[in-house]
Amino acid sequence: MSTYILVPGMCHGAWCFDELSTSLRDAGHRVLAITLTGVAERAHLLPGGVNLDTHIADVLAAIDNDSAADDHLILVGHSYGGMVITGAADRIPDRVDSLVFLDALVPRDGDACWDLVNDEERQWYVAVDDTGFGVPPMPFFDDRATSHPLATVLQPLRLRGELSRFRSRVFVYALDWPGDSPLRPSYERVRHDPSWVVHELDGKHNLMRDKPEDLLRILLEVSPQ
């Protein structure tokens, strides 16, 4: 049995993993899906004071408060969640077994989310909501989606070590973007690296919805035998 820590992308809550969480539990694993501060059902929590460090702290606190969490954690991040799982794993490397980036950002030391995406994505970030602190959800997002704290995409991530410390590093790339994928630079960072396992799925960015069976198979393969 493995423990999967699931971290959503911008504007989304833990509910975006509901189907995947159920499937992983049915396969005998433990799952901890996290809603980050200032987003979704936690949108009331001072979004103007929330940055990337806050979200990393969310994940670390959730792990610490889960008495059943073991020391062989599999951290899974979707989209922006790649920033968060990288930062969290860097803080507790002895407890993390593997990292899975679901069409997600793969940062290095000093990178901000802003640095890793394309101009179209940056234009979305700066089209802030009425508070001036939030990136509004896209019109096609789930009705439960809310604005996302702007500072989280601007703050650079500071890392103490390399991702090579972890047993397995997996990248899952969504091929069906309407234009150039803002995750392509992260994909290009790892696609030819033999120390990474890279998958390409013919689905849209929300792979949890578009390719649930393929995604479940990939995640189950990550679990230590």
Catalytic residue annotation: 79
Q: How far apart are CA 169 and CA 74, in angstroms?
A: 10
- Which residue from 214, 213, 186, 212 is spatially nearest to 200, judged by alpha carbons? 214
Please say whether the beta carbons of 104 and 183 come within 8 A: yes
- Which residue from 42, 163, 12, 153 is spatially nearest to 101, judged by alpha carbons? 163
Q: Enter the tokens of residue 75.
A: 């951290």
Residue where the block lists tokens 């009331």: 44
Q: What is the amino acid identity at position 40? A: A
- Which residue from 193, 207, 191, 224 is spatially nearest to 29, judged by alpha carbons? 224
